[in-house]
Amino acid sequence: MTPHVLIPVKRFSEAKTRLSAVLGHTERRHLAAALLHDTLATLARVSMLESVGVVTDDPQAIEIAHIFGAEVHPDATRDLNPALEAARSRIFARGIERVAVLHADLPLLSASDVVALICARAPAIAPARDGIGTNAMVTSLRAPLAFHFGPHSKRAHQRAAQRHDLTLQTLDHLGLAHDLDSPQDIPAVLAQAANSRSATLLRKALATRAQLPVAS
């Protein structure tokens, strides 16, 4: 059985704030929606994947989830880790023994990245390319690593694994590592994400700007 994949999505109107130097509020809202759309479209190409859920209280994100036949898990308190813990408990209670978390801001995500994630032995994390964050994780009923998404989450997940004597696998894949957080992350998306919704939106939005950000 493949893991249930949980995609946490915060309110689109509050998303992608670190891009505010290059994108207006409406553009960032549309970008967050485009990224969720791209993520679900990539997951839909993985035929072995059995179930997907979006953890959100954003009405538009709920609509997009429904378009792709994904389940919706509530995030009533708008608090990432508790919302993920609650969704994971519900999934485990159904007899599904593995749960993957996948952030919705990975514009270079490919179907093979998703296969690597869902086939990983739990517990596993996919660190962000900044070496500090965590973009994805796989956990299991037998190795239910607590969620510590937020600042310095890679270190927090490593420490949690150590405390529970769990061997934590690290997944090193471009599409899982390259998140779209700051302007410096944009050029790689324009160059490599071809015709995804998010890349198309970025190209259109930035076409009118005099200077593109420099890649890091």
Ligand X SMILES: Nc1nc2c(ncn2[C@@H]2O[C@H](COP(=O)(O)OP(=O)(O)OP(=O)(O)O)[C@@H](O)[C@H]2O)c(=O)[nH]1
Ligand Y SMILES: O=C(O)[C@H](O)COP(=O)(O)O
Least separation in angstroms between CB 152 and ligand Y: 8
Distance CA 175, CA 203 (A): 19
Judged by CB under 6 A, the residue of 18, 94, 152, 159 near ligand X is: 18
Q: Is 50 in the site for ligand X (CB under 6 A)?
A: no
Burial class (CB in 10 A: 0-12, 13-18, 19+), 165: exposed
Least separation in angstroms between CB 98 and ligand Y: 20
Q: Is 105 in the site for ligand Y (CB under 6 A)?
A: yes
Give the residue carrying structure tokens 């790689």.
188
Give the residue carrying structure tokens 């015709």.
195
Cβ contact 6:102 at 8 Å: yes
Helix axis angle for 25-44 and 59-67, nearest 10°, is: 30
Judged by CB under 6 A, the residue of 33, 72, 80, 205 near ligand X is: 80
Pairing of strands 4-8, 169-170: unpaired
- Nearest one of 127, 144, 148 to 136, comparing CA atoms: 127
Interface size with ligand Y, residues (CB under 6 A): 10
The pattern of x and - marking residues 1 through 30 that bind ligand Y according to CB under 6 A reads ------------------------------
Q: Is 17 in the site for ligand X (CB under 6 A)?
A: yes
Question: What are the residues binding ligand X (CB under 6 A)?
Answer: 8-10, 15-18, 55-56, 75, 78-80, 83, 103-105, 181
Question: What are the residues binding ligand Y (CB under 6 A)?
Answer: 103, 105, 128, 133-134, 149-150, 153, 179, 181
